[in-house]
Amino acid sequence: MRHNDKIKKLSRTSEHRNAMLNNLVTSLFEKNVVITTTIKAKEARKLAEKLITFAKNDDSVSSRREVAKRLKSRKIVQKLFEEIAPKYKMRKGGYTRVINLGIRRGDGASTAILELVEKPEKKEKEKKEKKK
Give residue limits of the domains in the chain.
14-116
| Total residue count of the chain as it appears in this document | 132
Element (H, E) at 128: none
Find out if CATH 3.40.50.300 is the number for domain 14-116.
no
In degrees to the nearest 10, what's the CA dihedral of 5, 7, 12, 18?
A: -150
pLDDT score of 13: 93
pLDDT score of 110: 97
- Measure the CA–CA gap between 66 and 75, rounded to whole angstroms: 15
- Note the helical H segments in 11-121: 14-31, 38-57, 61-70, 74-79, 85-87
* pTM summary value: 0.85
Contact 59, 83 (CB under 8 A): no
Residue 126's identity, in one-letter code, is E
* pLDDT < 50 regions, the chain: 126
pLDDT score of 6: 82
pLDDT score of 51: 96
Contact 44, 28 (CB under 8 A): yes
CA angle 100/52/38 to nearest 5° reads 20
